[in-house]
């Protein structure tokens, strides 16, 4: 059995969950911490959202719990050729005893992919940089 390669990153944010949720679901903010297709428009992410890129990458919302949890399923042709239908991208919000909101980012499991280490490393960087940018946007 191989080890799992799941990116896990948490960051404390001095903002209400509803503010962070805006950063996670409004394209004007998403474009500042992640990529969207050029033709996506300004449609807020909702429970039935499907984001498609020209190169047949597809991101589906699989869980949408307002101000708490947003989970995506990413599918790309290279992975499908390996028999992997999708990889999860999860964003979770919680409040600690001091009133701070925590954003948890969990991406993977990349261990099932041929180039597992490369995808894990790339997404480790993404998880850190995206969560830091989300924090900056939410606190300002």
R_g over Cα of the chain? 15
* Chain mean pLDDT for the chain: 95
In the chain, where the domains are located: 7-139
Q: With pLDDT > 70 as the criterion, what percentage of the chain qualifies?
A: 99
pLDDT at 1 over 50: no
What would the CATH number be for the domain defined by 7-139? 3.30.530.20
Q: Given this model, what pLDDT does residue 55 score?
A: 86
| In contact, 24 and 70? CB cutoff 8 Å | yes
The packing angle between helices 17-25 and 116-139, to 10°, is 130
Distances (CA, A) of 131 to 90, 135, 138: 12, 6, 10
Give the pLDDT mean for 49-77. Answer: 96
């Amino acid at each position: 059995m191989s080890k799992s390669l799941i990116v896990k990153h948490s960051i404390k944010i001095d903002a209400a969950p509803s503010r962070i949720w805006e950063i996670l679901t409004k394209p004007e903010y998403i474009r500042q911490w992640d990529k969207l297709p050029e033709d996506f428009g300004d449609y807020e992410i909702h429970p039935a959202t499907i984001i498609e890129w020209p190169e047949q990458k597809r991101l589906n919302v699989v869980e949408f719990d307002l101000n708490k949890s947003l989970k995506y399923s990413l599918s790309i042709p290279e992975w499908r050729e390996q028999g992997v239908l999708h990889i999860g991208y999860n964003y979770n919000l919680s409040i600690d005893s001091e009133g701070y909101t925590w954003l948890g980012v969990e991406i993977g499991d990349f261990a099932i992919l041929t180039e597992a280490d490369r995808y894990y490393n790339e997404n480790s960087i993404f998880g850190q940089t995206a969560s830091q940018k989300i924090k900056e946007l939410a606190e300002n």
